């Protein structure tokens, strides 16, 4: 049965460990429950593990569906059907046990499949779209369940056909490849070591990469050369080992993070005339100071439908 809470604190839902109070939060346990909520037209946003979400620290005038309890999956080797709230790292381990290759890159991801498909998550020369076959979606405009194949999804770097906000992912089918369990394990270990050396652990609140990579370049490289590693704002600081990460070092607020992002964005723009695009998504109310700062960086990422 769906759990519904009024005036719900979202601070602990986000890996950033930042967030205020939303009007209503609903936690369905099945896809059927989720579809019923979507049909009610009461909810503004659908979120998963919130691993690249920045919630405003203030009151957020929205009703939100969280999918983290919808975590069913079924293997029919080499095919896999997985629900929107299932964690990527769990499926990566299951694939290793079955000697199925294609999802080794997910071993270090805190995200769930709804959000990872939404943004076509990728790392280490692998991406969600590589093994994608089809998905069941909720068509918001027509209030019905539809199916998309891979071509319908229009996958590209950090993009999919879900970004327009017209569809919500319910579950998806993937086709993996048979591989060597030893080789899969070795690749997963390399990926884990890479993340340990270059990325912050979740013991410090963070939301992964802050900015998208520009075409044929690296946001981390540009930020490093622009001298952003020493930057901080309130309780938020740029991670010392990689300039494209912000950590919640000391009870940071959403304003701290947005203000720090703008400093980073401005330094790169001034030095290279390149305007970095945020990879994280911001959820807050229009008219606030931090919202206005966010809009200076982008007007495309104020709202999100699934992450």
Which CATH number is 18's domain given?
3.30.43.10
Q: Which residues of the chain have pLDDT under 50?
A: 300-307
- The predicted pLDDT at position 300 comes to 47
213 is a domain residue: no
Domain boundary among 66, 86, 104: 66
Domain boundary among 30, 50, 66: 66
- The predicted pLDDT at position 126 comes to 96
Task: Look up the domain containing 134 and give its range.
Answer: 73-182
136 is a domain residue: yes
DSSP state of 242: -
The CATH number of the domain holding residue 283 is 3.90.78.10
- The predicted pLDDT at position 303 comes to 42
Task: Based on the fold, state whether residues 91 and 153 are members of the same structural domain.
Answer: yes
Task: Based on the fold, state whether residues 242 and 259 are members of the same structural domain.
Answer: yes
9 is a domain residue: yes
| Helical residues (DSSP H) of the chain, grouped into ranges | 31-39, 88-97, 113-118, 128-131, 150-153, 181-198, 219-225, 254-272, 289-297
pLDDT tens digits for 186-226?
A: 999 999 999 999 999 888 999 999 999 999 999 999 999 99
**Catalytic site positions:** 158, 209, 279
Task: Based on the fold, state whether residues 242 and 143 are members of the same structural domain.
Answer: no
Domain boundary among 182, 209, 232: 182
197 is a domain residue: no
Number of Cβ within a 10 Å radius of residue 266: 16
Number of Cβ within a 10 Å radius of residue 173: 18
Task: Based on the fold, state whether residues 95 and 178 are members of the same structural domain.
Answer: yes
- The predicted pLDDT at position 179 comes to 97
Domain count, the chain: 3
Task: Based on the fold, state whether residues 51 and 101 are members of the same structural domain.
Answer: no
- The predicted pLDDT at position 299 comes to 67
């Amino acid at each position: 049965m769906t759990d519904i809470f009024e005036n719900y604190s979202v601070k602990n839902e986000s890996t950033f460990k930042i967030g205020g109070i939303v009007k209503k939060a609903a936690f369905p346990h099945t896809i059927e429950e989720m579809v019923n909520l979507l049909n009610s037209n009461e909810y503004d946003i659908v979120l998963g593990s919130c691993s690249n979400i920045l919630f405003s620290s203030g009151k957020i005038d929205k009703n939100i569906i969280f999918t983290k309890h919808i975590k069913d999956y079924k293997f029919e080797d080499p095919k896999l059907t997985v629900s929107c709230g299932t964690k990527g790292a769990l499926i990566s381990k299951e694939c290793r046990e079955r000697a199925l290759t294609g999802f080794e890159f997910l071993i270090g991801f805190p995200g769930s499949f709804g959000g990872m498909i939404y943004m076509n998550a990728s790392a280490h020369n692998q991406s969600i779209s590589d093994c994608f076959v089809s998905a069941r979606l909720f068509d918001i405009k027509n209030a019905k369940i539809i199916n998309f194949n891979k071509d319908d999804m229009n996958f590209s770097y950090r993009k999919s056909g879900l970004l327009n906000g017209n569809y919500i992912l319910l579950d998806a089918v993937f086709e993996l490849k048979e591989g060597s369990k030893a080789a899969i394990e070795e690749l997963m270990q390399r990926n884990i070591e890479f993340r340990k050396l270059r990325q912050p652990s979740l013991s410090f609140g963070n939301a992964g990469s802050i900015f998208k990579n520009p075409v044929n370049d690296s946001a981390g490289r540009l930020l490093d050369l622009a001298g952003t590693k020493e930057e901080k704002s309130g309780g938020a600081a740029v991670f010392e080992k990689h300039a494209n990460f912000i950590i919640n070092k000391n009870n940071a607020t959403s304003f701290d993070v947005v203000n720090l992002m703008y400093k980073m964005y401005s330094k790169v723009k001034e030095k290279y005339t390149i305007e970095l695009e945020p990879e994280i998504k911001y959820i807050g109310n229009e008219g606030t100071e931090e919202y206005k700062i966010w809009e200076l960086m982008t007007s495309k990422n104020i709202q999100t439908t699934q992450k």
